[in-house]
Amino acid sequence: MISLRDVAKRANVAVSTASAALNGTRPVAAETKQRIESAAAELGYRPNVLARGLVSKRTRILALHYPAPASGFGLTEMQFATGAAAAASELGYHLLLSPDNADPLEELRYLTGTGLLDGVLLMEVRLDDARVELLTAQNVPFALIGRTRRPEHLWFADIDFARLGADVAGHLTGLGHRAMAFINHTGAAYAGEYGPVVRIGQEIAAAAKEAGMSYADGFDADTAEQGRAALHDLLDAHPETTAVTVFSDQAAVGVLAAVEDRGWRVPDDLTVVMVLTSAQVAAMFRPQLTTLEPPSLELGRRGAQMLIEQLSDETAGPPPGGELVPCRLVIGDSSTTPRDDKGVRA
């Protein structure tokens, strides 16, 4: 391994001078600097991150922490990682994957204690998330992808759920629908602590009301079987429904099956819209489903950028609050005008 000593020797300067020249940390005569840079280039010198980090207390390494979800990751979740890694890389940082096995907090406590990390990016954030308190207490810089119940003093990037609700309602009323329903995730795996499930339920309800639509919910589903049953129950209870919005892509499979059970067709007899499902996945259904595609890559990117910004900002000013990113409406073949504008089927 080529060390700074080797470079210094070749350039006939002291190690400290070589360091200063290479980092621009204090002025070095132009000619000397040139000589040092040449020597470094010729030798193929790469600074040792460990030694540097040991003294400077900065490693330019971030951890991405994700509590392993019971059901394995979907495409959406993993895109966070891709986006965050790309943004970090562009800014000269690296991203360390930190899955937690048993105890979410222990892993985090360990990692932050080792001096390896400059900051932490939290995924799968719950409405009340113990990790936030831990990191705050330990004074470790962090940012969230998603947000807690009260994120006012935190750095976070999350989906703009209010806008999402408005977009769904707008799309449907634009087509002439007056009665919609929403099949949410049950959120069972998170005991009602999962932000997207809670927020999306609230915001879609609010937007439907705002738009003057009749609205039904409470028929939640995570699997195809549940989705099928949910749609039947839903239509039995609210026969006026002309448009259904679905969160879970598995449930959507069941919804389409239930439509078929009834001898109906999508979109003629029922408009179906997915929410927080990527266009790539929505395109695999037949008919291709309209979806509000989550800005997963962008959220990952913004999370990493915010964290790095926070690290660069020496002054550590007052927390700026977070950033909300809109979803993209991708219209498929599953939404159209309702067959009967009286809202009742024969």
Partner DNA sequence: AATGGCTGTCGAAACGTTTCGCACACGCTA
Partner DNA sequence: TAGCGTGTGCGAAACGTTTCGACAGCCATT
Q: How far apart are the C-alpha atoms of 312 and 307, rounded to whole Å? A: 9
Q: How many of the other CB atoms lie within 10 Å of CB of 55?
A: 7
Q: How far apart are CB 314 and DNA at their closest, in Å?
A: 12
Q: How far apart are the C-alpha atoms of 215 and 194, rounded to whole Å? A: 22
Closest CB to its own copies among residues 151, 294: 294
Q: Per rule CB under 8 A, is residue 68 in the interface with its own copies?
A: yes
Using CB distances below 5 to 8 A depending on partner kind, what does residue 337 bind out of DNA, its own copies, none? none
Nearest to 6 by CA among 35, 32, 39: 39
Q: Per rule CB under 8 A, is residue 72 in the interface with its own copies?
A: yes
* Tokens linked to 316: 């550590």
Q: Which of 34, 38, 56, 138 binds DNA (CB under 7 A)?
A: 56
Nearest to 64 by CA among 74, 49, 51, 79: 79
Q: Per rule CB under 7 A, is residue 130 in the interface with DNA?
A: no
Using CB distances below 5 to 8 A depending on partner kind, what does residue 29 bind out of its own copies, DNA, none? DNA
Q: Which of 22, 159, 213, 252 binds DNA (CB under 7 A)?
A: 22
Which residue stretch of 90-98, 156-164, 170-178, 187-195 sits at the interface with its own copies (rule: CB under 8 A)?
90-98
* Count of positions (residues) in the chain: 346
Closest CB to its own copies among residues 165, 254: 254
Q: Which of 14, 29, 41, 75 binds its own copies (CB under 8 A)?
A: 75
Nearest to 15 by CA among 53, 60, 2, 49: 2
Residue 259 gets the label, from left (phi > 0), alpha (psi -120 to 50) or beta, of alpha
Q: How far apart are CB 325 and DNA at their closest, in Å?
A: 35
Closest CB to DNA among residues 34, 280: 34
The whole-angstrom distance between residue 317's C-alpha and the CA centroid of its chain comes to 25
Cα atoms in the 13 Å half-sphere on the side-chain side of 139: 2
Q: How far apart are CB 328 and its own copies at their closest, in Å?
A: 14
Q: Per rule CB under 7 A, is residue 3 in the interface with DNA?
A: yes
Q: How far apart are the C-alpha atoms of 329 and 275, rounded to whole Å? A: 9
Q: Per rule CB under 8 A, is residue 99 in the interface with its own copies?
A: yes
Closest CB to DNA among residues 7, 244: 7
Q: How far apart are CB 285 and its own copies at their closest, in Å?
A: 6
Closest CB to its own copies among residues 93, 155: 93
Closest CB to its own copies among residues 78, 162: 78
Q: List the Cα angle 331/332/338 in 5-degree steps.
A: 85
Q: Per rule CB under 7 A, is residue 166 in the interface with DNA?
A: no
Q: Which of residues 38-57 bind its own copies (CB under 8 A)?
A: 44, 46-51, 53-54
Q: How far apart are CB 119 and DNA at their closest, in Å?
A: 18
Q: Per rule CB under 7 A, is residue 41 in the interface with DNA?
A: no
Binding residues for its own copies (CB under 8 A): 1, 44, 46-51, 53-54, 59, 61, 64, 68, 72-75, 78-79, 81-82, 85-86, 89-90, 94-99, 101, 107, 110, 113-116, 224, 249-250, 252-253, 256-257, 280-281, 283-286, 288, 297
Binding residues for DNA (CB under 7 A): 1-5, 12-17, 19-20, 22-23, 25-29, 31-33, 45-48, 51-52, 54-56, 115
